[in-house]
Structure formats: C-alpha cells, structure tokens
Amino acid sequence: MKIGIFTDAHYSSQKVTCGNRYNSRSLKKIGEACRFFAQEKCDLVVCLGDLTDTEDSHEKEAENLREIAKLLRETPVKTVCLMGNHDAFAFEEEEFYSILGGCRPEDLTENGCTLLFLDACYYKSGQHYAPGGTDWTDTFYPHTQALKEKLAGAAGDIYIFLHQNLDPTVREDHRLYNAQEINGLLQADGRVRAVYQGHFHPGSSTVSGGIRYRTFPAMCENESAYFIEEI
Ligand SMILES: [Fe+2]
Ligand SMILES: [Fe+2]
C-alpha cells in the first residue's frame, strides 16, 4: 500500500510568520503534492495536521480551508486529514470536516495492515482543544483504554498516525503529556511498525522499542515536503 503524506502546510494569507513559515505559498504546494500522489498512484493520502493557520477573521480562515478543499476534491485518491493544534484552535471539528467535505480519519484495515489515527488535540485535563485556544504545549491523548482495545482487535502490522509527537527524541514541549504511557502500549503490542507524526517542523526519524518514529518536515518551511511511505 502506497501512502502519500504531507504535514504542517499552515496555509493562510500571510507571506511569512515565525521567520520561516511561508504560509501563503502552501496552497500551491498542496496542489503540487496532490498531483504527485495521484501520478505515483498512491492508495491513500494523509495530511498529518496544521493544514491551516490563523487569520484576523474566522470568515477568512474558512475561505482558506475551502480553497484547500477544492484541491483535495480534485485529487482522485482517498484523502484523510488529521486536525493539528492550529486547525483545532481555529475550527470546531464539525465545521472543519464539513468544509473539507469528508477527509475525517477513520481507522482502516487494508492489505492485512491496520492504520490507526489518533487525535491528541486534548489538554491534559481531558478537554478537547477549541477555537480561541493557544496552549499547544499542553497535548494529551485521553483514550488509552480504547487504544488498548483497538490494538488487541487489530489485524496484522499496525501503523499509527497523529499530529503531535510520540517520538521520545523530539523536544518535550512537542510531545504528548502521556507519551511514555502510549509508547508503552504500542511497544508492548509488538506489531506496531511505525508512528507517523507532524508538528515538530524540522522533522525527525528515530527507532525506539522496535518502532520507527517518523516526523515529517513541515510543508510551510520547505520545498517538495511531500513523501510516500510504502507499507
Ligand atoms: Fe505546525
Ligand atoms: Fe502543530
């Protein structure tokens, strides 16, 4: 199975933010990535979050997301978008997926493999991120019991997708508050082959406890930051 992956497009009308995020250029890059994935005959496209960035008005944020949705609709490959902290601080989940016209992550079993999509846009209090929030360093995955059950019932090799980081070598402020607990569950299963993440813009690649942790470099900070993983 061929999976096209990109992350951290941070698309907005700003030319540059934080010194090295070229926000407005990302729409063109998303189109380029989608065309590449279609040409390479990918079976699935996954955006690992932070698709959008903040504007002065929510109307403009929604307009930006509609522009992205148009590109994704034109791509003849099933596409899944995880929400990143930037998306969840601008959109309610319902609005985000309704504008995208689908793309909601649902766990998949394909080719004898299981793909699990985790939402770590939660504060450690257990409350989900909501529009107006800003504290991206408070990130947590509260559904550990459900994850245990999913792992127990999963078929074949398992691949995990999430926005924030489980990679134990990535800066602590980017990692889930309960990363150690989640990694313990994933490593104990013995069938988790890889964890795919965004959020940490420079990217990273680590093997720990028999699992490959791959953090993809941010699209807004790089040229040609789109990748194919074969599983
Ligand atoms: Fe980001
Ligand atoms: Fe992020």
Distance, CA 7 to ligand 1 centroid (Å)? 8
**pLDDT tens across 162-212, in order?**
999 999 999 999 999 999 999 999 999 999 999 999 999 999 999 999 999
Average of per-residue pLDDT across 106-117:
95
Model confidence pLDDT, tens digit, residues 25-82: 999 999 999 999 999 999 999 999 999 999 999 999 999 999 999 999 999 999 999 9
CA-wise closest residue to 82 among 111, 113, 53, 45: 45
Ligand 2 centroid distance, CA of 180 (Å): 19
In whole angstroms, what is the distance from residue 14 CA to residue 201 CA?
Answer: 18
Mean pLDDT score, 94-111 = 96
The tokens for 107 are 């766990």
Confidence category of residue 119, pLDDT binned at 50, 70, 90? very high
Predicted local confidence at residue 196, as pLDDT: 98
Looking at residues 88-92, what average pLDDT do you find? 98
pLDDT of residue 152: 97
The CA 77 to ligand 2 mean position distance, Å, reads: 24
Say what the pLDDT of residue 230 is.
97
Ligand nearest to the CA of 219: 1
- Per-residue pLDDT, 165: 98
Residue 195: predicted pLDDT: 98
pLDDT tens-digit series, residues 141-163: 999 999 999 999 999 999 999 99
What is the predicted pLDDT for the residue at 179? 98
pLDDT surpassing 90 at residue 111: no
Strands lying side by side in the sheet with 79-81: 79-81, 44-47, 2-6, 227-230
Q: What is the pLDDT of residue 204?
A: 98
Distance CA 220, CA 26 (A): 6
- Give CATH for domain 2-230: 3.60.21.10
Closest-approaching ligand to the CA atom of 218? 1
Task: Kindly give, in sequence order, each residue whose CB lies less than 8 Å from that of residue 21, ignoring residues fewer than 6 positions away.
Answer: 10, 53, 201, 218, 220, 221
Ligand number nearest to the C-alpha of 17? 1
Provide the pLDDT for residue 136: 98
